[in-house]
Structure 1
Amino acid sequence: MEQLFWACLAGGVLFAIVTVILGDLISHAIDGLLDFLSVDALRKLRPMVIVSGITVFGGAGLLVLHYTPLGGLLAALIAIASAIAIGALVYVAYVRPMENSENSTGFSIHELTGRIGEVLVPVPPRGYGEVMVKIGHGNTNQIAASFDGETLKAGERVVIVEVRDDTLFVSRLDETSPSNGNKDERGEIG
């Protein structure tokens, strides 16, 4: 029984060291390991939870075996209970919150059509400038050209009319025009 405990402890520590060095590569390779199981609760287990449980099983088993008068079977039962408890704690305290916190800042440039932006680098009638567009909680700066052939000064608000060849074609946003009823960028009347 002692060899099993040592193997689990050593394997877990080795996995932790390799994970620090190779990072997400191993996690993605092992992530689909439990996909063949039909039970949803088992599919949610992640390699970090499984390996932490195995490591705790080995460490707890060695501690109980060496520092208590209990035999191998009772040491294994206590080690299993410890592994389940710590594995659940790792899942609840670390894995689940991290799954919920993932955000993607990726976007397609074609999704910018119709958005409001601000000119950063003046856009000449026949040339290129730069506009800043708000995406989610951040901003993106993109190359822009005038859709109407007008000069657009720095600081002016513009609307993206179309996207061609990775260039935003923009037009001055006329916020006082009666046609838009003084709507702000969210489309609400101000």
Structure 2
Amino acid sequence: MEALLWGCLIGGALYAIVFVVFGDGISQAIDGMFEFLSWDGHPWAEPTTIVGGITVFGGAGLLLRQYSSLGALAVIVLALVIAAVVSGALFFLYVRPMKNSENSIAYSLREFTGALAEVITPIPEQGYGEVLVKAGAGYTNQIAASFEGKPIPGGARVVVVEVKEDTLYVSELDLGQIQ
């Protein structure tokens, strides 16, 4: 039984070390070679969760065997319970939040309606200029035209009134008129 527990502990630790150090290289080297093995099963059945559980099973079993007077069957059952609890915690506290995190920097021009921006290239009465508008965690330059048909100087604060044909129609923001 000790060989099984040591195998689980060492195997899980080696898996973690190999994939932390060499994971990207291995992923590029085998690039889809084992795609046929993919399984769209339960979301908790991620390799991180499963291997984490196996490693905890081995470690908990060794500790229980060494420091308790429990029998072999009780050690295995208790080690399995501990591994299930730790795997569940690993899934809910690490794996699932990482899968749900947003990595996209994509935006839609329609999202800019009502947004504040700054004119970086003056906008003439009947032409186009450029505005700097916040998009997600950064800023983007967009083509802009005057919504009211009035020229807008560079550096002016504007609000996006409308978006059509990939152009932001803006109006100069005049905070002096707000009471």
Q: TM-score, normalised by structure 1?
A: 0.62
Letter in structure 1 aligned against 2:64? V
Deviation at 1:84, TM superposition (A): 1.2
SS at match of 2:12: helix
SS at match of 1:73: helix
Structure 1, unpaired ranges of 5+: 37-41, 177-181, 185-189
The aligned runs of 1:71-110 (5 Å cut-off) are: 71-99=71-99, 102-110=101-109
Q: Could you say what the CA RMSD is over the residues aligned between the two structures, in angstroms? A: 3.9
1:119 and 1:67, CA in 2 relative to 1: closer, same or farther beyond 3 A?
closer
Paired residues of 1:34 and 1:43 also in contact (CA < 8 A):
no
Bigger mean CA deviation after superposition, 104-113 or 43-52: 104-113
Identity over aligned pairs, percent: 32
Deviation at 1:119, TM superposition (A): 2.5
Deviations 1:79-126 (A, max 9, x none): 1122112112223333344455x1344224544564544234123549
The higher relative CO (CA closer than 8 Å, separation ≥ 6) is in 2
Work out the CA distance in 2 between the residues paired with 1:90 and 1:98: 11
Deviation at 1:150, TM superposition (A): 4.3
Deviation at 1:59, TM superposition (A): 0.9
Work out the CA distance in 2 between the residues paired with 1:172 and 1:152: 12
Paired residues of 2:123 and 2:145 also in contact (CA < 8 A):
yes
SS at match of 1:107: coil
The aligned runs of 1:13-32 (5 Å cut-off) are: 13-21=13-21, 22=23
Paired residues of 2:157 and 2:172 also in contact (CA < 8 A):
no
Corresponding residue number in structure 1 for 2:164: 162
Query: Number of matched residues?
Result: 164
Letter in structure 1 aligned against 2:121? P
